[in-house]
Structure 1
């Protein structure tokens, strides 16, 4: 994969990038990544390779999806949170494996699997609070803080065991771990829509709606589903609405741009070919700097010869005043070499 650290950070999420952020409650989270999961995936050849930057609690992994497309991913841990950014060589497809599963074990009771908004779990069902004020506060946090796609589903009637299964399990792999499903009981419809009013969205009775933020030029109606049958059948209209929403260009949330920049500019898990390319670029930069130094030396020599000729001519003419100082000399050879190496350092 071509590494392009000089590409400017975008303001919207590029089509090649997949991002997620969550909370972990496990003090041994790094051990889970290091020993339990990444190593096993490498042994099973699910991923090509991984490495840990232990001083920064950063993990890098690379793998291939269809047609040999390479994916590079970086997961950074803090005391309670993790940020995962993956970038592919082509625009991301939702049926590709979720990058989450390349780092974390996908256990049903995983302690790492929690949205940044405490208490919400992607891929599961989150029951709305009974208190309408609590519901509104939670929605505010979802809209402002979460990187996940939030869907509110209203149960027209109390579903049976089949209807209580998460709808996320029916989503494409690349969406399943980025969607939080909020369930409203039959009697909560009025309170839920009161809480949603400030976001200019409403959930239909027995239907669903995707929470904002919405890109400019789009309305909530485009991502509203009139009926969701909670009978175990595939909710095609809801899957379509979520997929269309996820595919829209979205402004990068707080912290997202920094994570993307870190992936692109601090990536260290190079293949042999990439390492050789990097060394060739280094040699080219040295050659350029040495060539500049040689040209600088020649310029100094020419300038000195011209100055001596001018001084001799002036003395022969019997002039009493010294000539005007020559134009500023070019940078020294050492400066030329240093500048060349600094350019390579910034690029690599």
Structure 2
């Protein structure tokens, strides 16, 4: 089973992550129209397209807020990347006020229409809601399965083997039976009857094997804690149009396991929590109060610093005045030997400067010190 060389934080129970790719034109227009329609129909409470003040952001950001049953508020942030060829990648993170319930609606349906060009896995380009038939070429199929096994952080990849060629009833996708919260996060790979040996050969590096006529849930990299291939392999999947209850249960159990945050999800989660713009009036009031408290603390700190500088300046002036008075009161002649001499502020200042000079000599590089000694030697020889 593949392991991760570095531990990543676990996805919080309140967070729903997804990543995909929009392969059609005008992705921003589709988002704007869908969000407007959903707000007008009161499916979502509000939305916002975050303005790009500098005009140099590489992505467009959309925020939305809605409520699920029991008046639980969900906040979601979708970032739409630039078109680098092959479509525009989108990243969606939603966070609820309570642990996520798979029965809640998929956050994808709060930004995108039910069907459209957005429905593609970002890593593999495969559909997130339809059946993905494995390529006929063995090399391409093996490469696709290995890539799916290593890029399972954002999506759950499931491999289903057809024991025999199916009819129209057997071509119904798994997504239609999944809980709403798991739709758009599952990629279904469908292997033809003659591809079983090739599939199991490709999955050997993950320690997996697909039963004939069955299915298996890929662990992804790194595998979630508690993953056991035996627990997520289904012996038989009836492709006759009936609900594949065992497979749905396996996918649901897998999705409930504590899973590491996918690559890049930590930055997206930080942006969702700390760079949120779609505020209610109450949230704006709380934010303004926090700003007032922060500015008050900063002002108090600046005032204390100013007082300390003022106190230091006053002491410096006092020392300078004492030095001047001592210099003016000092006798012109030398005091007799054997008498006690009081150290003047000027002498204290001189001694301090001498100590600083000695310290500087100690910190001087060896080459410089040697060069000075050579110079002193040459000067002494020339005087002789």
TM-score normalised according to structure 2 size: 0.75
In 2, the alpha carbon distance for the partners of 1:323 and 1:276 equals 58
Which one is further off, 24-33 or 224-233? 224-233
Give the equivalent residue in structure 1 for 2:273. 264
Give the equivalent residue in structure 2 for 1:149. 156
Q: Where do 1:1-348 residues align within 5 Å?
A: 11-35=9-33, 37-53=34-50, 55=52, 56-78=59-81, 79=83, 80=87, 81-107=89-115, 110-145=116-151, 147-213=154-220, 214-308=223-317, 315=325, 319-321=344-346, 323=348
In 1, the alpha carbon distance for the partners of 2:232 and 2:79 equals 32
- The structure that has the greater radius of gyration is 2
Unpaired runs of 5+ residues, structure 1, are: 1-9, 326-348
- Conservation of the 8 A alpha-carbon contact between 2:63 and 2:278: yes
- Conservation of the 8 A alpha-carbon contact between 2:158 and 2:218: yes
Per-residue CA deviations over 1:143-197 (Å, capped at 9, x if unaligned) read: 2335211111112233332222112100000101111111122222222212222
In 1, the alpha carbon distance for the partners of 2:111 and 2:15 equals 16
- Conservation of the 8 A alpha-carbon contact between 2:124 and 2:147: no
SS of the residue 1:187 aligns to: helix
TM-aligned CA deviation for residue 139 of structure 1: 0.9
Per-residue CA deviations over 1:57-96 (Å, capped at 9, x if unaligned) read: 1111111112222211111112121111111122211111
TM-aligned CA deviation for residue 304 of structure 1: 4.3
TM-score normalised according to structure 1 size: 0.82
Q: What is the alpha-carbon root mean square deviation over aligned residues? A: 2.2
Distance change in 2, residues 1:320/1:103 (3 Å): closer
SS of the residue 1:95 aligns to: coil
In 1, the alpha carbon distance for the partners of 2:24 and 2:129 equals 19
In 1, the alpha carbon distance for the partners of 2:106 and 2:122 equals 18
In 2, the alpha carbon distance for the partners of 1:277 and 1:259 equals 23
- Conservation of the 8 A alpha-carbon contact between 2:64 and 2:76: yes
Per-residue CA deviations over 1:255-307 (Å, capped at 9, x if unaligned) read: 22222222222221111111111111111112112222333333344444555
Unpaired runs of 5+ residues, structure 2, are: 1-7, 53-58, 327-341, 353-384
The number of residue pairs the alignment matches comes to 313
SS of the residue 2:169 aligns to: coil
- Conservation of the 8 A alpha-carbon contact between 2:124 and 2:144: no
Give the equivalent residue in structure 2 for 1:335. none
TM-aligned CA deviation for residue 210 of structure 1: 0.4
Distance change in 2, residues 1:215/1:320 (3 Å): closer
Per-residue CA deviations over 1:2-57 (Å, capped at 9, x if unaligned) read: xxxxxxxx62322211111111122211101112x100101111111111135441
Distance change in 2, residues 1:54/1:299 (3 Å): closer
In 2, the alpha carbon distance for the partners of 1:119 and 1:309 equals 77
Distance change in 2, residues 1:322/1:275 (3 Å): farther
- Conservation of the 8 A alpha-carbon contact between 2:159 and 2:190: yes
Give the equivalent residue in structure 2 for 1:331. none
SS of the residue 2:79 aligns to: strand
In 2, the alpha carbon distance for the partners of 1:323 and 1:173 equals 81
SS of the residue 2:238 aligns to: coil
- Conservation of the 8 A alpha-carbon contact between 2:17 and 2:93: yes
TM-aligned CA deviation for residue 119 of structure 1: 4.7
SS of the residue 2:63 aligns to: strand
Give the equivalent residue in structure 2 for 1:337. none
